Structure 1
Amino acid sequence: MNRAPYAADPLQTRGREFPQERAGARGPRSEFQRDRDRIIHSMSFRRLRSKTQVFIAPEGDHYRTRMTHSLEVAQIGRVIARALGLDEDLTEALCLAHDLGHPPFGHAGEDALCDAMQRHGGFDHNAQALRTVMRLESPYPGHEGLNLTWDLLEGLAKHNGPVGGPNWALAELDEAFPLELTSWPSLEAQVAAVADDIAYDNHDIDDGLRAGFLSLDDLLELDFLADQWREVERQHAGEPRDRQLRELVRNQIGLMVNDVITHTREQLRDVGSVGEVRGAGRQLGGFSPGFAAEERKLKRFMYDRLYYHQEQVATAERARDVVARLFAAYSQDAKLMPEEWQARLPEHNPQRARVIADFIAGMSDRFAIERCAAIYGERPRGLTNV
């Protein structure tokens, strides 16, 4: 690989929170490869297979989960990183880790934890991802967390841009291992963020069509999608409709990826180092202004037609109730929690509430439903709409 001068270099990493000797390291891997592998082998990553992406507890096997979404983000991220000469391993690691802080039931679960934690400092899935990899997921002797590189943690904290007012969780972690929250992150982190946008913009369309929440007529209300559909029909006339629709999604991904690569290259003409990327004072990796405007239209369309669909909203409300009831139950009787979690519970709030939120945030959809049924004696109903 030809590494660009503005790419992150694993030989120049700022290290790990807990220093480690490389003597006897397991295999000839770079520091960023080690980060990626630690994420893939973590229990938090494995649990993503049973966490909501768009549809809550879907009965079919073909709908995306947080894990399949993260894998798709990583695939897109690596393509962009390779074209720009960035570090593919760091990009992939960031893509794989970006959703580790999501609680069960996606944004519905996050809303419930935000409400429950309102008096205790709040809850945010991005900060929870950092808390997960730095404190909660602790498989190694001698230290807490996965002990990932500064570069990975910085990108995870700021992949959506500088953080001016971190909540308690991120502020606490930043104090322990400063992440320069007010500057822009590496290009690898910026690419991971736009790869996330590309993946869910398009793959959520695929799932929405499969579930019957979206139709082709809906999609054709967007001019740039209508243009692509006409080209698909011209090139693949007579093919089954479902194959044509999937070709439309693939074409959209290709257009977005190519736009990001072209625009980012233009932005990097006078950039010669990672330091200049962080000090640029603006986003360098992303969509061109024109395509960004079209992408915002697509997002608004998806919120109106899919994410806020009447059935989705009703199911999300039931999911929020599950998380709220779990938080209430554990707050009232800690003995309902596993012994290892009881042992780590602080005596007083807000720290006590934060550990309860940690426990719930780590649950899969299925486990949250099972625990709610065990505690309240009745299995929650109506938690799937596909």
Structure 2
Amino acid sequence: MRIVIIGAGQAAASMAARLRAGGHEGPLTIVGAEPVAPYQRPPLSKAYLLGDMGLDRLLLRSDDWWKDQGIELRLNERATAIDRAARLIATDHGSLPYDALALATGATPKRLPAGMGGELPGVHVIRSLSDVDALAPQLQAGRRLVVIGGGYIGLEAAAVARKLGLDVTLVEAAPRILGRVAAAETADMVREMHRSHGVRILEAAGIERITGTDHVTGVALQDGRNLPADVVITGIGVLPDVAIAHEAGIHIDNGIATDDRGRSSDPAIWAAGDCASFPWRGQRIRLESVGGAIDMGETVADNILGADRAYEPKPWFWSDQFDAKLQIAGLGTGHDRIVQRKGDGMHGGSVWYYHMDQLIAVDALNDARAYMIGKRLIEAGKSPDPELVVNAPDLKALL
């Protein structure tokens, strides 16, 4: 059986490794548009951007490992079309046949609408290695940075820039930072931490346009204010990369729609990672996370080999900002109650999400114990009384 994976990120790497571990001895090819072997993305906006991690540590596997496993990496090669009837993939370098095809195409950064200045030199996004390699030399002490977007990527970039000595302003159009992904209580902790490090955070501040002619000079807000800027980072979210699937007639629904096995509307084509949506608790969701890419990639690999195993996500996320770590277990979507537990440090504590008395998620800032215990409780289906969470002298007793 000839297996081809389009995309060369975490999901693709995890899938390929699992296929070989599961006994697949036939041809196995990864087609990736970037010129480098599969690498970690989370450190790009943190340690790599800060200069604390080199490319060698970003790589998920060594060159020798790929060769030893007999996995063909076709890098710097973009898949352009899928001929489902012939089971053939066209690329900008040629074509290749498949018996089973897995799409791990990831996601692409959202861009500002045309005419808002997002194409000006000095405006950057953070998604790929090349994005960060272009940005890093611009982050010089004393320069003025405006970050557009108060999600995790924007906040991480703001933290790195402050550590490098830049003057940083973060602008969020919504009423508060982390509005789509975390409770107000978590946002309050993160906002206070950033402000204590000198980041100016402007919330409910819409962007009119980015100003400049040959290079960015500032960011004009809808309320008439103008923020001078030498560098701008836009972190306004991502979109699943579904173009090649859509053009091939594969069903799209908030990503490449799969069943609970990871199979698309074409029985010979599978999907995993940020590009894939799957059924979960009566809805269809995508998990933009390393954990999701690994788990779903491995599930798809098993099912290509005949396991017929349902994908059961166990969501977990993290974000490093300054010297703090925000760890998240579960998904807080649909919560109807929140309780907060104080941590030991100045910037720390945990937020516990409940839905109909069921514990569904925990956010923990600088509180690894709360994260680990919360994660174990969620995975075991246990829900301690919220008052106990707040008042228990030792969280371990909740187990």
Q: What range describes the TM-score normalised by the shorter chain of this pair? A: under 0.3
Higher normalized helix content (fraction of residues): 1
TM-score (normalised: structure 2): 0.24
TM-score, length-scaled by structure 1: 0.25
Higher normalized contact order (CA 8 Å, seq sep 6+, divided by chain length) = 1
